[in-house]
Each structure stands twice: as C-alpha cells, then as structure tokens.
Structure 1
Amino acid sequence: MTQSPRTAINNVTYLFLRRMRVPLVLVIMLYTVSVFGLAVMPGVDDAGNATEGMGLFNAFYVISYTATTIGFGELPHPYSTAQRLWMALSIYLTVTGWSYAVVTVVGLLQEPAFQNALRHGRYARRIRNLKEPFYIVCGVGETGTLVCHGLDRLGLRFVVIDSDASRIEQIKLENFYSDPPSVMADASQPATLTGAGLLSPHCRGVMALAVDDATNRAIAVTVRLLRPGLAVMARVGDADTDHSRGAFGGDMVTNPFERFATYLALAVARPERYRMGQILTGFPGDDLPEPHHPPRGHWIMCGYGRFGHGIRDALTKAGNEVTVIDKLHYGEKGVDIEGTGTDSASLINAGIEHSVGIVAGNASDLKNLAIALVARDLKPDIFIVTRQNQVSNATLFEAFQDDLCMQPSRIVAREFLALITTPLLARFRFEIRGASEKWSADLTDALSMVNDGYVPEVWGVTINDEQAAAVTDAIRHEHWVNIGHLLVDPYDASRPANALVLMVARGDGGEILPTTGYQLEIGDQLLIAGSREAANRLRLTLNNPNVLFYVRTGRERGGGWVWHQMREGKRWWIRKRNRHND
C-alpha cells in the first residue's frame, strides 16, 4: 500500500531513528566522556611544567580528528602521560562506537522494509513534483503496457500501479521518452490511488486494467467517491456486468470479447464501415489496416467461453448460421459438437466443407493456431479468424497469415487512447452509425491519404482563447474564418494541408464533414484527422494572427524578419522536395 508523500518521508525517518537510536546514543556518550575527560586532564608545557587541562573547545577539536583516525599529532604542546593514556582509551572507545554505528547503518540499508520505505519516498516525491496533466494506469500487463506506450507517443505523462513485482520491473525496461513513476501496490486500496496522485488537480483520468473485474470495480468506486467526475476507463470480462450504473455508471468500460464480437459482425455486414472505424481508433503512424471482407453463410466457432458466446451471438444476429465446437462446455445450450477443433474429425462433423469461415477463439494461442492449420488443410479458401492472447506470439500469427486476428489487449488500448486523444471521436462515431458503405469507403480513402498511407492522428480543437486565440480575435472583429482557411498550408497558401475536418460540433448540433465554406463561431469544437506535421501547422494558424491573415487573404502582413526568413526557407524546401519527387 502506498502512502502520502508526508507519510512516506515520515516512515523513512522513523525506521532510521528507531534502528540507529542505540548506536547514536552510544556514540554521543563516548564522544562526550572523551571530550570532557581530555578537557580536564592535566598537561605539560614546553619546559615540562604541569599545566591545567586544555579546555572543552581544544578537547573537542582533538577528539574530533583523533577519533576519526585522521591524527594531526599532539597539539599545541606535547601531551602529558595522563593525557596520552586518556587519548589511547578515547581512540579505542570512539572508533569502536562509530564502527558499530556504521555496521548498523549498512544493515539498515539492506533491510527490505527500509528499502521499501526509500522506494515509496522517492515515488511520493515524484508524484508531488508532477505539475502537468497525467493519467493513472492500474495494471501493466499487455493491455496496460500498450496503453502506456500510446500515452507516451501522445506526449502524456502517466503513473503506473501493479501488484506484480515482475511487471513493475518490466515496465522500467520499456523505452519511454520519460521514466514514469511506478509502484508495486494493490490498486483497489484507496490509499494506493491517493498516493498515486488521484487527488492532484493535474490528474486527468484513471485506467483500471487489472486482471480481475473486482479490482477494476473497486478502482471505479474509489474514483467516483473521491474524485467525482474524473474519467475512469475500465476493462471488464464479465458479460453480465451492468456498465450503465453503479460503480461503472458514466465511465468508459470495454469488454474486449464483446467488442471484437461486435467488430466481427460489423466486418461481415459492413466491411467498409469496419475498416473506417479501425483507422479512426488506430495507433497514429501504424500501417493502415488491410481491408477485410468476411463472407456471409455458415461459420464454425471453436471455443465457447466468454469470447465464443459473444462471437456466436454477433454472427447469428448478422444473419449467419453458426456451429459451435467445444469439449469443456459440451452439453450446454449453444454447443453443437464435442471436440476441440484441433482434429479434422470435429471440423468435418461441424460441416467445414460448406462453411465460409471459422473462428479459433480459445484462451491458448497454440491451440488456436493448431485449429487454424487444420482448417486451412481441410479447406484452403475458408476465412480464418484467430484470437491472439499473448503479444509475444505475434511472430507465429504473422507466419500463419490469417484473415483476421483478434488481440484483446490491443482492442482495449485503442479504445482508451482514442477516448483520451479526443472525446469528440465517440460523438462522431455515434453520428455516423447509419452511414452507407459507399460513404464509409469514400471517407476511408480520404483518411488513407492525409498521413502518407499511415494511420492518421485524430485530435480535437475548440475555438476559444486558449486553443485558437487568433481565430477568436478575428471573429470578434467580424473577420470571417471558415474551414477552408484552416486546411491551407501556412507556409504556402497554394498548397492544401494534410488534414481533414471530420466534424464541427456546435452546441447540441453540428456538421459532419463540413464544406470548406463552413464559417466558424466561437465555441465550436472541431474533430480533425491528419499528419502530425499538419497538426503543428494548424496550431500555428489558429494562434498566430499574421499566419491566419495569410491563409485567409493570400497576402503577407508583418511578422518580422525572422518569420519572413522561416517562411521563405520552408518554401524553398518544399520546392526542392517537389522537384526531387518529379
């Protein structure tokens, strides 16, 4: 369990003082006796005459350098026999005392409790020093690790909590731009979340990605009670969990098995809309997803756990016939064939000769690959869907080359990161839920072009003084600004920017794929897709009055010598690149 920064520091101090109490008292007593004894011990002068003791200050000075074995000699006069005897005794006493103290300190540093207190102290200081927006990631298995990498690529800070020490050690070895604060603790405990910065004004959300639903539910309850209104993104595996109320009410909850079942049904019924959704929620910079066209007809489902239930229901609702193969759940309603699917007999009994597709959906990657291999041998042209549970097995799945691969961890990571990047994306996807296949295909083509053939970035912009100061100032002075102005390269007004405005939200209404002439108003929210370079250039247009004037009118205005040189240099580079491409 983590503590608050003050508690963590107090624990370190308490452990140190408790263990060092006896050694410190002993050292203080020995030094005190040695100093007072030497101060009153009679000495001799240069002529050999007896003198009074050297006094407290001189005695303190002599004991200080002698007891530490530095040894400057007998100063300021040669010592008397009594002084030398006392010095010899003092040396043995004080050296023994501080040696005992050093040994005790070394033992204390090796104690697990003290090391743990030091780690918590460093962790607490790092949390206290976080002065920028951050997220708390609870659970860093495969899903949590993907989420952390996504946050890191977006330039967002995060704090890691996991009860498994090996996962904490592994996350420290990941290649992040900034080393995230991490702690081994139970995230279901309120003190753990508060110690991770839950109450900090810079905390923007909590991601509950623990293995069991009970922990994720406890995290959601803690956040709702201690930080009402703070975003909670949770992964659940129980299909019967009510996500709309209670602990998860109002939060972003993803069941990876149900979500993929929905995706598969969508890919069968509306493949273009499915691919469009994959691009919108994909990791920016990744290769564009390949088009998938799962056929309609008879399907075989191998495995009838949570994943199998969702797939069967989704395919059946989409108008397909499904035969289920399972050995463990045979005899339950919905299971047709007893077997595993790794043998040809069970697949033949399931009717593979007239099937159009098969889903290998067990919890074992090797078992799923074995099913897929047998199915391809029996019917080479069958559409194969596999479930990949471990990221480490990616090489095997790539070698097999299935038609569609389901990765639960990647599904959850993509959903959460898309929500973090821009909450407006969820509203856009809701608005286009009834889009036709042709409309979806056209938008997919447009999205494929704005980032040179890679998954584009999707971000939101609000027309206000914080995010678009130049635009709001122009609107207040009755200088109209439209969508077309934002889609112009600020370095060359004759070239379009690599960006696409997907939606403008205005109050409860808005416009999907607005035209270039759509005039903006203060308070509008824009959902934009494009390259990272386009995002940086758009930020310049939104906030620099001279750049906005240039894209609106095509004429340059002011800006100074530096801005002029930058613009001319950029134009020269663009012309050179175009000549090279030609």
Structure 2
Amino acid sequence: MDAGSTPTSTIFLVLRRLRPPLIVLIVIFAVSVLGLTLVPGPLDANGAIQRLSFFHATYFFSYTATTIGFGEIPYAFSEQQRLWVTLCIYLSVIGWAYTLGTVFAMLQDKNFLNAVAVQRFSRQVRRLREHFFLVCGYGETGRLICKALDELGYRAVVIELDEAKVGDLELQSYSADMPALCADAGKPDTLIFAGLTSRYCRGVIALTNDDNTNLAVAIAARLLAPALPALCRAEHTDTVANMASFGTRHIINPFEKFGEYMALALHSPAAYNLLLWLTGLPGTTITRHREPPRGKWVLCGYGSFGKVMTEALENADLPVSIIDRAPPADPTHTWVKGDGTGTEALRAAGIADAVGIVAATGNDVNNLSIVVTARELNPRLFTVLRQNQVANRALFDAFESDFAMVPSEIVAHECLAILTTPLLAPFLDTVRHADGTWAKTLLDELTGRFGWDVPAVWSVAINLAQAPSVYRMLMRHEQKLRLADLLRAPETDRPELPCRALLLLREGDPPRLLPEDEQEVRLGDQILFVGSERARKDLALTLFNGHTLKFVLTGQDSPSGLVWEWLAARRQAREAARI
C-alpha cells in the first residue's frame, strides 16, 4: 500500500474485502426473520394462530446468532417454527464460517497488513510533540545513528525499504519509540507522510545503499523543506556533483572522508586523534592510533576507496605500488596484477621493504587475508584495513589493525557531529588546518582531564530559548557575566564544572578558539563546550533556572515559589524595621 494513502483507506479496504460475506449474512438474517414472521405458531387461548412480530423475530435471531440461547420467546414455538429455526441456524453457521474465513484470510493479506502498519505509523508521527530526525535507511549506518540519537535523548522516524530491517528496529531496546515505515524513501509522498514538513522535524538523514534514492531524498528535502539540514550519503562522484548542484548542504562520501582522515593522520596525528575523540559515538572509548610511517606503501584493490587512498598517499609524497586484478594502462603508477591474498603479488609489489599496506577491496575476507599474509612477510607493516560489514567486527578486532575504515561508522560520526552540535563543524575545520603542536597540546589537555572515553559535546546560544535565565539577567543589565561565572556546579561549594569551552562565535567578531575563563558572555553568543554529561546537565540547569543562576553567581540560596518569596520578603522587611 502506498505510504501516502490516508488512514481512511484502511476502512475502505476492509469494507471491500468483507462486502460478499456481509451481504450473505444480511440476506440470511433477513430471510430468517421474514420467514419466522410468516410461519404459523401455536394456537392461543382463543384458538387463533399466533405469529411473531418483526421485533420478536429480530430479537430471537439476534441472540441466537450470538449463541446465547435464552429460549423460545414470547411463547413456545410450534413444530413449523422450530423446523424453520433449525434450517436458519444451519444457514447462519455457513454464513458465519464464510465470514470468519474471509476475515482470517484478510488478516494474512500483505496489502491489509501494510495498510494497518501505515495507519499506525501515521498516528505515531502525528502524535509526536518533540523534535525528531527523519532517518531514511536502517542499515548498519542507520542503526548506529538511531542508537546514538537515542542515547543523546533525540527521537527518530525511520523509513526503510527492507521489511526485515524494520522488524529488527522494533526488536531494539530504545528508550523511546521510533516510528518506522517499510516504504521507498525516494518518493516525496513517503517523506511528507513521515513528517518531512512537520514543524518538529529537525533534519533529514539519507543513508540508503542506493545513491539514486539518496539523491531523490536530497532533492525532496531541498524543495519541500529548504530550511531543514539534509545529510546525504553518496559513494559516486557524479552523485556528489548532482547533490551539490542542487544545493545539498551536507554530502558525506565515506571513502573521501576517510581519505581526509588518512591525510590528516599523515600530516598531524594529534589532530586526527582529537577529531576521532570529539566525533566518536557516545559510550565508546577511543584508542590512540600509531602514527603512519613515511616510506613506500602497497595498496590492494583500486576501486573507489583505493583511488581515494592512492591520492591521499601521493599527496603526502609517499610512493605507492598498486595490486589490482585488472590494472589499467596507467604509466603514472606502479601496477601489479593480482588480488593481494597470495604472496607472489605482494612480493612483486615490494612488500618486504614497504612501511604500510592498504587492504581496500570490497570483500572483508579478502582484506583480512591480505593483511595477514602481508604481516607474515613484513611484521613491521602499518596496516590500513577496510571493513565493509559491521557484522565482521569480531574478526577485525582480533587482527588489531592500525587503521580500520568502516564506512557506516564514518558516516554516523559525521552526521551526529553536524546535526546534534552545529558549532562542532567549524571547530573541526580549524582542527584539520591547525598546527600539529597546537593540536597535540589541546589533545593532551583534554584527554588528560576527561580521559579517552568519548565526551559530551554540546553548544549553547545565549538567547531566550536556550538560556532564558542568563538572557533576562543580561537584558536587565544587572552585571557583566564572565564565562568562569557560568561554569560552576550548583552545589554547596560551587566547584568548577568538568567542561571546557572550545569555540565562541559572536556576530561581527572573528571566531574565538578556546576562550579563556575571563571571557565576557554577551547576548547572542554561541559557545561550544566539551566535557562530562553531568556538566552538560548542570550548565543547562543554570541557564534555564534563575534561582540556580543566582546561587552559582553569589552562593546565596534564594527562596523559590510565591509563598517562600513572600515569607522571605516579610522577614527582610522586619529585619530592616529593627535596624
């Protein structure tokens, strides 16, 4: 059934399927009632033949049809009436059997089940009264996105074409229900039905394995909801160009993104580790990677990912030997024909004197075979391993490669960084272009303070919506507010919150990286923080609650509520009168 159908279509579908049995039941009931009124009954006291009225006949067959069986009313039936009732009972049994068979067949009909699912999905989306993200595609990436959004306290609405994956979503133990619809996300009607134009929708994430579907989602989001951020996955260059020409703000190519990561790791390992730490999935721990060595590299598999990695290595002035089953006639590179799983091709590519190897094929088993064989020939190799399926994580963890390229995790990291914390994107751009010494100093400072567990990263805007207590205080010009004044816990001794300001944006001023504690906070400022989840909640309480803000600033616990404020005012008035 089309997702764009109205919920009333389910009622019409039921009526169409049950029309024949309902007509049969009505005819049997009508004939039975009519016959019972015509069949002569017993003689009354005056010797006249008694006949049932339509009311009594209808009443009798009504409770007979429900097998209640009160007996013969309003008097004992004649033999003719009992013969007619017996015939009608068997006719009604046949009619009800036919009706129930039709109902059971309808309950197993795929179109009916789809109609019911669509109606249920429609109700769930309409009843959402909180912000949500529209996730198109519940594959490995979509599963990671939904899990991370749930841990961060966000809702998601999912569109997935594979019915088995929709069933898998319903089995997950998310803290909040995530409405899911089995439909084609490439159809605009499906997106509208899933809440694309809802005022509660905060963004669209296209994560399907089909670039054309992701392109259709990008176009629909651009035309139907131009104000919403749209994040679209694309693995082919022409699709990326098409999305960009249509004004798609965020296009994520996992191969190109990993190429950027590799280039950053070669240029500034500390900046790469800092980027991984800030954009990691909540609840995970980042492992500090070994720095990629400089020297000769061997690459196996010259596909989309292989081309990106070759370009990244050559841009770093590192020689590359490429192993491929069908090497092109390209004299600019060193080619070896093969797949890299055997020792002959690896030796021909010079694995003995290489410093690193990239297993870039689309087959996880072949990639593991390549790096295991290469390590046997050269134990000191730095390994970059492409993992295509998250289900094979146990095998890849057992090998312990230096770099693991997992497309689903890369896309998930980028989506979460862009959607949940908009200020993180400009800060990460600064990190990518920063000096290696600056990145290392900042990484050591932050990980030394918060550890290597992925921290909470959030942004705050000093406005009426996100910081009402601070906004009102600054509007009244009561006092100047420093950043250090806000970063105090609402506890007895007001300890410093375990968080750090990374970026401050102010209209008309250049971005301020790592603002100091003495930095003045003004209306309209946007600040990016990193720290613990407890610090995020405590800061949110300070920003929203005026009494908490006053306690954090002064240490005085003022009464809250009309009654307590009135009593406090009376006490102050009495004390002033004594003075």
- Check whether TM > 0.5: yes
For 1:57, the equivalent position in structure 2 comes to 55
For 2:469, the equivalent position in structure 1 comes to 470
- Alignment of 1:340 with 2:304, yes or no, is no
For 2:489, the equivalent position in structure 1 comes to 489
Structure 1 residues 474 and 449: alpha-carbon distance in aligned structure 2, compared to 1, 3 A threshold:
farther
Q: Distance in 2 between matches of 1:11 and 1:93?
A: 32
Amino acid at match of 1:374: T
Structure 1 residues 157 and 389: alpha-carbon distance in aligned structure 2, compared to 1, 3 A threshold:
same
Q: Distance in 2 between matches of 1:269 and 1:120?
A: 51
Structure 1 residues 521 and 244: alpha-carbon distance in aligned structure 2, compared to 1, 3 A threshold:
farther
For 1:570, the equivalent position in structure 2 comes to none
Structure 1 residues 257 and 353: alpha-carbon distance in aligned structure 2, compared to 1, 3 A threshold:
same
Secondary structure at the aligned position of 1:501 is classed as strand
For 1:304, the equivalent position in structure 2 comes to 302
Amino acid at match of 2:424: L
For 1:573, the equivalent position in structure 2 comes to none
For 2:184, the equivalent position in structure 1 comes to 186
For 2:503, the equivalent position in structure 1 comes to 503
CA contact (8 A) 1:158 1:180 kept: yes
Deviations 1:321-377 (A, max 9, x none): 222121223434535222222222322222223322111111111111111112211
For 1:91, the equivalent position in structure 2 comes to 89
1:231 to 217, 220, 229: 229
TM (norm. structure 1) is 0.91
Deviation at 1:243, TM superposition (A): 4.2
Moved more, 403-412 or 24-33: 24-33
Alignment of structure 1 residues 13-32 onto 2, 5 Å: 13-32=11-30
Q: Distance in 1 between matches of 2:388 and 2:10?
A: 42
CA contact (8 A) 1:330 1:338 kept: no
Secondary structure at the aligned position of 2:322 is classed as strand
Secondary structure at the aligned position of 2:481 is classed as coil
Moved more, 306-315 or 338-347: 338-347
For 1:133, the equivalent position in structure 2 comes to 131
Q: Distance in 2 between matches of 1:273 and 1:243?
A: 28
Structure 1 residues 517 and 308: alpha-carbon distance in aligned structure 2, compared to 1, 3 A threshold:
same
Alignment of structure 1 residues 180-579 onto 2, 5 Å: 180-243=178-241, 246=244, 248-332=246-330, 334-478=333-477, 479-508=479-508, 509-559=510-560
TM (norm. structure 2) is 0.91
Deviations 1:112-161 (A, max 9, x none): 22222222222222222222211221122211211111111112111222
1:69 to 63, 67, 70: 67
Secondary structure at the aligned position of 1:444 is classed as helix
Deviation at 1:237, TM superposition (A): 0.7
Deviations 1:294-335 (A, max 9, x none): 112221111111111111111111121222121223434535
Amino acid at match of 1:231: P
Deviation at 1:96, TM superposition (A): 2.6
Secondary structure at the aligned position of 1:495 is classed as coil
Secondary structure at the aligned position of 1:523 is classed as coil
Q: Distance in 2 between matches of 1:247 and 1:176?
A: 37
CA contact (8 A) 1:46 1:77 kept: no
Structure 1 residues 562 and 535: alpha-carbon distance in aligned structure 2, compared to 1, 3 A threshold:
farther
Q: Distance in 1 between matches of 2:404 and 2:243?
A: 32
CA contact (8 A) 2:215 2:239 kept: no
Structure 1 residues 208 and 114: alpha-carbon distance in aligned structure 2, compared to 1, 3 A threshold:
same
Deviations 1:165-191 (A, max 9, x none): 222222232332223222222211222
Q: Distance in 1 between matches of 2:328 and 2:240?
A: 28
CA contact (8 A) 2:56 2:73 kept: no
Deviation at 1:530, TM superposition (A): 1.1
Amino acid at match of 2:480: W
Indicate the percent of aligned positions where both proteins have the same amino acid.
Answer: 42
CA contact (8 A) 1:474 1:481 kept: no
For 1:156, the equivalent position in structure 2 comes to 154
Q: Distance in 1 between matches of 2:474 and 2:107?
A: 64
CA contact (8 A) 2:499 2:532 kept: yes
CA contact (8 A) 2:277 2:452 kept: no
Q: Distance in 1 between matches of 2:395 and 2:359?
A: 15
Amino acid at match of 1:470: S
Structure 1 residues 40 and 436: alpha-carbon distance in aligned structure 2, compared to 1, 3 A threshold:
same
Q: Distance in 1 between matches of 2:254 and 2:42?
A: 90
Structure 1 residues 556 and 302: alpha-carbon distance in aligned structure 2, compared to 1, 3 A threshold:
same
Structure 1 residues 453 and 383: alpha-carbon distance in aligned structure 2, compared to 1, 3 A threshold:
closer
Q: Distance in 2 between matches of 1:242 and 1:234?
A: 9
Deviation at 1:561, TM superposition (A): 13
Deviation at 1:449, TM superposition (A): 4.4
Q: Distance in 2 between matches of 1:220 and 1:161?
A: 14
Secondary structure at the aligned position of 1:324 is classed as strand
Secondary structure at the aligned position of 1:340 is classed as coil
For 1:80, the equivalent position in structure 2 comes to 78
Q: Distance in 1 between matches of 2:487 and 2:404?
A: 36
Secondary structure at the aligned position of 1:380 is classed as coil
Deviation at 1:239, TM superposition (A): 3.0
Moved more, 519-528 or 351-360: 351-360
CA contact (8 A) 1:40 1:55 kept: no
Deviation at 1:472, TM superposition (A): 1.0
For 1:143, the equivalent position in structure 2 comes to 141
For 2:107, the equivalent position in structure 1 comes to 109
Q: Distance in 1 between matches of 2:428 and 2:459?
A: 14
Q: Distance in 2 between matches of 1:318 and 1:562?
A: 70
Q: Distance in 2 between matches of 1:60 and 1:451?
A: 79
CA contact (8 A) 1:275 1:292 kept: no
Q: Distance in 1 between matches of 2:330 and 2:238?
A: 18
Deviation at 1:560, TM superposition (A): 7.5
CA contact (8 A) 2:299 2:322 kept: yes
Deviation at 1:252, TM superposition (A): 0.8
Q: Distance in 2 between matches of 1:494 and 1:136?
A: 40
Secondary structure at the aligned position of 1:488 is classed as coil
Deviation at 1:26, TM superposition (A): 2.1
Considering only aligned residues, what root-mean-square deviation do their CA atoms show, in Å?
2.3
Q: Distance in 1 between matches of 2:75 and 2:273?
A: 94
Amino acid at match of 1:503: L
Aligned residues: 561
Moved more, 230-239 or 245-254: 245-254
Secondary structure at the aligned position of 1:253 is classed as strand
Amino acid at match of 2:65: A
Moved more, 54-63 or 415-424: 54-63
Deviation at 1:461, TM superposition (A): 0.8
Q: Distance in 2 between matches of 1:53 and 1:530?
A: 88
Secondary structure at the aligned position of 1:43 is classed as coil
For 2:567, the equivalent position in structure 1 comes to none
Q: Distance in 1 between matches of 2:243 and 2:58?
A: 73
Secondary structure at the aligned position of 1:205 is classed as strand
Q: Distance in 2 between matches of 1:179 and 1:379?
A: 51
Structure 1 residues 145 and 329: alpha-carbon distance in aligned structure 2, compared to 1, 3 A threshold:
farther
Structure 1 residues 171 and 335: alpha-carbon distance in aligned structure 2, compared to 1, 3 A threshold:
farther
Secondary structure at the aligned position of 2:511 is classed as strand
Amino acid at match of 2:35: G
Moved more, 429-438 or 391-400: 429-438
Q: Distance in 2 between matches of 1:327 and 1:87?
A: 83
CA contact (8 A) 2:264 2:432 kept: no
Q: Distance in 2 between matches of 1:267 and 1:431?
A: 15
Secondary structure at the aligned position of 1:50 is classed as coil
Q: Distance in 2 between matches of 1:494 and 1:187?
A: 50
CA contact (8 A) 1:329 1:335 kept: no
Moved more, 392-401 or 328-337: 328-337
